[in-house]
Amino acid sequence: MSDGTAIAGPDGLLRCPWGLSTEDYVAYHDEEWGRPVHGDDALFERLCLEAFQSGLSWITILRRRETFRTAFAGFEIAEVAGFGEDDRTRLLADEGIIRNRAKIDATLANARVLADWEPGELDTLIWSYAPDAENRPVPATIADVPAVTDESKALAKALKKRGLKFIGPTTAYALMQACGLVDDHVADCFARGADR
Catalytic residues: 28, 50, 58
Angle among Cα 119, 122, 127 to the nearest 5 degrees reads 125
Residue 29 marked ligand-binding: yes
Q: Are 140 and 192 in contact (CB under 8 A)?
A: no
Residue 155 CB neighbour total at 10 angstroms:
25
Does 48 show up as a binding residue in the annotation? Answer: no
In the three-class reduction of DSSP (H, G, I as helix; E, B as strand; rest coil), residue 127 is classed as helix
Integer-rounded Cα radius of gyration of the chain: 17
Has 38 been labeled as part of a binding site? no
Burial class (CB in 10 A: 0-12, 13-18, 19+), 32: middle
Residues 161, 23: contact at Cβ < 8 Å?
Answer: no
Tell me the C-alpha distance between 79 and 82, whole Å.
5
16 is in an annotated binding site: yes
Q: Are 127 and 154 in contact (CB under 8 A)?
A: no
Residues in binding site for Zn(2+): 16, 29, 185, 189
Residues in binding site: 16, 29, 185, 189
